[in-house]
Structure 1
Amino acid sequence: MSFITRRTALKGMLATSALPLAPTLVLGQSETPKSGGKLAYAQLSANRRSADATNSRHPYFVVDSNVRLQWNCLTWVNPQLGWELEAAKRVEPTDKSLAVWEAELKEGILFHNGKEMTSEDVVASFDYHRQNAPFARQIKRIEAVSKYVARFYLDSGNSEFPYVLAEYNSVIMPAAPLATIGMDGIGSGPFRIVESDPNRSLFMEKFEKYFAGPAYLDRIEIYNREGQQEAALNGLRSGQFDAVLSIDARAALDLSKDPDLQIEAAKGGYSFVLQLPKVPGTPMDDKRVRQAMAFAVDRDAIVRVAYGGKFGWKGNDSHLVVTDPSFVPRPGGRDVARAKALLAEAGFASGVDLGTLYWSPQLPEAGRYFQVLQQSLAEAGIKVKLEERPNDGYIQFRTGDADLSKGNYHKFAMTAVGSRNPGISLFRMRNAYVESGYWRGPGHDRYMALYGQAMVEPVAATRKAIYAQMQDILFDEVPALLPAGGDNFLVHRKNVKAMPYHPQVWSIRFEKTWKA
């Protein structure tokens, strides 16, 4: 068998991991797109990284994480969570180890400064990403094979590597020294940055030489309104904004009755993680206490109260979203009696006090969500005090100086996670990651051994079976609690056309959006 045949066969098997492509928008005769105009929108779940005047145009720090408006990646994740080619015209493994991949660029892609994108830019960008983006650290080195071909050498096989290339921290920037690359905000996307106000706003104008054809809109203005849903909706009603992104399900239900507004929904957008610090000798280090939490929490009530019943979905204590084909529903339902029995077995027959659970208003429904969670845990004798923390500085607060060598653990706290492919989502439960609470022991070791098998398995159906085994381990061990998740919603005025939403907020592309 020749090398080309092996590679072609591998490519075919790997392609089965991608879900069907996004449906094509069909416009009626009365819906002919028009060029021109400005779109102003408020984002309720914006980038929470701190930005200042020196880095506010960098893709890691822009006011809003919708980086696909300004930059391109080699690949893109469509609304069905399958990957597609974007700046690359070819992405494939070089052999069956799946540890070496090649990406060939489309020719003629221009950056906003007029420079053509080449493999030199890909290499420089990923040299930066390897040091600064968690998902890119698996890349040991990258080299330019030719003007348009870059080769990635991974630390081990990864059957789902094309998804890594689509991450919001995988954008391609013009080559520059590591200390300055990306700081100028120059990308190759349909819009170029013209003005930025750190943590507040970002203004962009159409890039006429965008490789896929110029956008319809002349200008997009983004305003950070995280935690300010009512103020943002008032801005929509007054005409300050044309759209508001990341509204909660209850607002979506309300606004759907307004004849001048339109709701766009993306199922399976995100979920909340309760990171459970497994400090030796404390209750959460005991698997039975964590199991009791999983049985006690009323997932149905969270969906009903936080998401209005019509939207939202029950989580299974993994990072997978319900729309992922690999998602396995958690067996059984709520069982308060079993939760109490587990607590008694662990030595807490009279109940247990787990201290303070910290949360931030990162999404509008968070307050309702955690009140229901607190009440349902209490019914099983699990006491949790809630404390709201401001969004500013929250990531640093909940993580703290997490260094196990010093005996330092993170806080008992929530965070929100978005929808990703199984290879990325299930990796988040590894021992060396805060969201797993530094899970350890035989269960963890079996879990990671299965993960290693999945990553070098080219056949999607076989990987799916392995992922099911991994979720079975999570049901038993409960390293973290992910009780329920939400859908992504945006609301826009009826004169705004072709403005679809996406389960991954950072993957939205509005180059086909226009105003009537």
Structure 2
Amino acid sequence: MNWTHSRKLVTGLFVATAISTAAFALPVEAATLRMAWAQDATGLDPHKQTAFSSLRLLELIYEPLVRLDTQLNVVPAIAASWEFAPDAKTLTFKLDPKAKFSNGAQVTPADVKASFERLLDEATAAAARSNFLSIESIDTPDAETVVFHLSTADVPILASMATINAAVLPASEITADTIATKAVGSGPFKLDSWEPNAKEVLSANADWAGGKLAIDGIEVTVLPDETAILASLRAGQTDFALINDPLVATLVPNEPNLQLNRISGLAYNVLQLNPSRTPMDNLKVRQAMSCAIDRQEIVDSALAGEGKVTGPLTAPAFAEDPDTLFCYKQDVAKAKQLMEEAGMSGGFTAKVIAANGEPPVAASEAQVLQAQLAEIGVKLDIQMMELSVYVDTWLKGDFDMAVAQNGGRPDPYPMYNRYFTKDGNLLQVSNFVDDTLDSLMRQGQAETDPAKRVEIFHQFEQHLTEQSPWLWLSTSYTYTAQLKTVTGFEPSPTGTLFGLTKVSIQ
């Protein structure tokens, strides 16, 4: 089968239809969008950042080769087109000749090659490194072409590339080692200034290949209290805001001058166990905890009903009924039996970490889990942390348990490969190696038949929930709110704010 950029696989991962980059109509006077959010970026290096708050900022400044549209199809970004060889082991990109960095320099194949070499360098500690280990070599035969030679058929590599963790950076800035301190991207906006935990100022990038914007920039104010964000919107002091707290979001429709954008997300809420620590290294203890949890009560209590119970696979093309998964219906009697079989009928105490602010429901989730697990003698000591401290602790895997919200992807491989394969670069976070999971992941990576891929990943999900290294809880909604004078924003299941490129202010 010869795949070109006009073919579709499963969720449209191979779709690259022509997309108009005609300039958006400018109003008589372009305006600056006043935006607010509660959590600020924790760093500027797009290859290293894992916090949602960082990625939301950086995706406005940088671009990957391809991106996901609001329907989760892969569409052009820096690359104008792409083509897989018949054996899916060679992937060729043609770059958009109009693509330029914010310093005015052309985006070249050399920049793409340098960016992926940086991603693959273990010293970089790139967040998505494991998703690109199939890359054996990169050729740049001419001024517009980049050829990736792969060690195996790698169906999901396009979805892996459609993220800001795979941003294309200027080779000159990589050489100068300025990526963490100087944001030079080819995205729709330029970062003019950043006062951490206070304010960002962005201006429209006149060289952006996507066309002219209808706003001349964005001023972001960091307001840690989301009720203060809502008050600022009510007063007309903020035009557009990211809302994380479902309780605050439910108040927005009551305001006549405001509009709420609400969409189901791919991100998932999860209680991550650390199977390298006693007694979480005991399968029956982990399974007992899974059986003791009432996931729907967590949704109803901690998320104010704004979410749904989920298994590990959250993308529509792969998701299955959670009731088919191991112990997804609360069974306290079975949980107590498993604890007894594990020799833990007396229970144990463990520390669970959670971040302040993102998600804002983390503390509530931890408290509901604390009450539910107490029924089988598991006593949770909740430790709330500032986001940057939490992220550092999480990345080191330095916890007994962690209440987390992790990003979802339209394909399971880039979503879980880095956690649950032997070469996963975030294996220190999951602390869980399993031959069956590793094998199924590799099968799903190389399989080219869409139906067979779904079957493989359903086996992966069934086995993962039986092993219970993590206890998946729910998906939730992503929210933004805006004055009704702001039009054109397109929300996405990934939670991206890239839809701001289509915004205008009346």
Paired position in structure 2 for 1:197: 195
Paired position in structure 2 for 1:247: 244
Once residues 435 and 349 of structure 1 are traced to their aligned partners in structure 2, the CA distance between those partners, rounded to angstroms, is: 29
Once residues 225 and 362 of structure 2 are traced to their aligned partners in structure 1, the CA distance between those partners, rounded to angstroms, is: 13
Once residues 300 and 435 of structure 1 are traced to their aligned partners in structure 2, the CA distance between those partners, rounded to angstroms, is: 30
Paired position in structure 1 for 2:37: 43
Paired position in structure 1 for 2:351: 356
2:265–2:494 contact (8 Å) kept in structure 1: no
Once residues 100 and 160 of structure 1 are traced to their aligned partners in structure 2, the CA distance between those partners, rounded to angstroms, is: 13
Paired position in structure 2 for 1:114: 104
> What residue identity is the alignment partner of 1:483?
L
Once residues 290 and 57 of structure 1 are traced to their aligned partners in structure 2, the CA distance between those partners, rounded to angstroms, is: 36
Question: Structure 1 pair 158/57, CA: closer, same or farther in 2 (3 Å)?
Answer: closer
Task: Classify the secondary structure of the residue corresponding to 1:485.
Answer: strand
2:190–2:203 contact (8 Å) kept in structure 1: yes
**Greater alpha carbon shift after TM alignment, 64-73 vs 209-218:** 64-73
Task: Classify the secondary structure of the residue corresponding to 2:251.
Answer: helix
2:302–2:365 contact (8 Å) kept in structure 1: yes
Paired position in structure 2 for 1:268: 265
Once residues 509 and 464 of structure 1 are traced to their aligned partners in structure 2, the CA distance between those partners, rounded to angstroms, is: 30
Question: Structure 1 pair 237/59, CA: closer, same or farther in 2 (3 Å)?
Answer: farther
Does residue 296 (structure 1) correspond to residue 292 (structure 2)? The answer is: yes
**Greater alpha carbon shift after TM alignment, 214-223 vs 227-236:** 227-236
- How many Å apart are 1:114 and its aligned residue? 2.2
- How many Å apart are 1:196 and its aligned residue? 2.1
Counterparts of 1:274-423 in structure 2, within 5 Å, are 274-279=271-276, 282-309=278-305, 311-316=306-311, 318=312, 320-321=313-314, 323-330=315-322, 331=324, 332-350=328-346, 352-361=347-356, 362-400=358-396, 410-420=399-409, 421-423=411-413
Once residues 410 and 167 of structure 1 are traced to their aligned partners in structure 2, the CA distance between those partners, rounded to angstroms, is: 28
Once residues 435 and 473 of structure 1 are traced to their aligned partners in structure 2, the CA distance between those partners, rounded to angstroms, is: 20
1:57–1:193 contact (8 Å) kept in structure 2: no
Q: 2:75 aligns with which of 72, 75, 84?
A: 84
Task: Classify the secondary structure of the residue corresponding to 1:80.
Answer: coil
- How many Å apart are 1:495 and its aligned residue? 0.8
Paired position in structure 2 for 1:166: 162
Paired position in structure 1 for 2:127: 134
Which runs of 5 or more structure 1 residues have no equivalent in the other structure? 1-5, 23-31, 50-55, 403-408
Counterparts of 1:87-236 in structure 2, within 5 Å, are 87-96=78-87, 98-131=88-121, 132=124, 133-137=126-130, 138=133, 139-176=135-172, 177-180=174-177, 182=179, 183-225=181-223, 227-236=224-233
**Greater alpha carbon shift after TM alignment, 82-91 vs 11-20:** 11-20
1:128–1:178 contact (8 Å) kept in structure 2: no
> What residue identity is the alignment partner of 1:211?
A
- Structural RMSD (CA): 2.8
Q: Per-residue CA shift, 1:387-446, capped at 9, x if unaligned?
A: 21222322222344x5xxxxxx64422332112121112323335534763223xxx211
1:45–1:363 contact (8 Å) kept in structure 2: no
**Greater alpha carbon shift after TM alignment, 471-480 vs 172-181:** 172-181
Paired position in structure 2 for 1:258: 255
Question: Structure 1 pair 44/153, CA: closer, same or farther in 2 (3 Å)?
Answer: farther
Question: Structure 1 pair 99/21, CA: closer, same or farther in 2 (3 Å)?
Answer: closer
The size of the alignment, in residue pairs, is: 478
Paired position in structure 2 for 1:477: 467
Task: Classify the secondary structure of the residue corresponding to 1:270.
Answer: strand
Task: Classify the secondary structure of the residue corresponding to 2:93.
Answer: strand
2:353–2:385 contact (8 Å) kept in structure 1: yes
Paired position in structure 1 for 2:431: 438
1:83–1:163 contact (8 Å) kept in structure 2: yes
- How many Å apart are 1:119 and its aligned residue? 0.9
Once residues 497 and 136 of structure 2 are traced to their aligned partners in structure 1, the CA distance between those partners, rounded to angstroms, is: 26
> What residue identity is the alignment partner of 2:201?
F
TM (norm. structure 2) is 0.86
> What residue identity is the alignment partner of 1:419?
G
Once residues 261 and 64 of structure 2 are traced to their aligned partners in structure 1, the CA distance between those partners, rounded to angstroms, is: 25
1:140–1:153 contact (8 Å) kept in structure 2: yes
Q: 1:15 aligns with which of 9, 27, 33?
A: 9
1:73–1:166 contact (8 Å) kept in structure 2: yes
Question: Structure 1 pair 437/267, CA: closer, same or farther in 2 (3 Å)?
Answer: same
1:499–1:513 contact (8 Å) kept in structure 2: yes
**Greater alpha carbon shift after TM alignment, 410-419 vs 179-188:** 179-188
Once residues 47 and 192 of structure 1 are traced to their aligned partners in structure 2, the CA distance between those partners, rounded to angstroms, is: 15
Identity of counterpart residues, as a percentage? Answer: 25
Once residues 321 and 269 of structure 2 are traced to their aligned partners in structure 1, the CA distance between those partners, rounded to angstroms, is: 16
> What residue identity is the alignment partner of 2:190?
R
2:5–2:15 contact (8 Å) kept in structure 1: no
Task: Classify the secondary structure of the residue corresponding to 2:489.
Answer: coil
Does residue 487 (structure 1) correspond to residue 477 (structure 2)? The answer is: yes
1:46–1:224 contact (8 Å) kept in structure 2: yes
Question: Structure 1 pair 33/460, CA: closer, same or farther in 2 (3 Å)?
Answer: farther
**Greater alpha carbon shift after TM alignment, 251-260 vs 270-279:** 270-279
- How many Å apart are 1:313 and its aligned residue? 1.4
Q: Per-residue CA shift, 1:117-170, capped at 9, x if unaligned?
A: 221221122222223323245234423121111122345432111112111122
Once residues 467 and 57 of structure 1 are traced to their aligned partners in structure 2, the CA distance between those partners, rounded to angstroms, is: 32
Once residues 39 and 89 of structure 2 are traced to their aligned partners in structure 1, the CA distance between those partners, rounded to angstroms, is: 35
> What residue identity is the alignment partner of 1:417?
N
Once residues 458 and 12 of structure 1 are traced to their aligned partners in structure 2, the CA distance between those partners, rounded to angstroms, is: 16
Task: Classify the secondary structure of the residue corresponding to 2:403.
Answer: strand
Paired position in structure 2 for 1:405: none
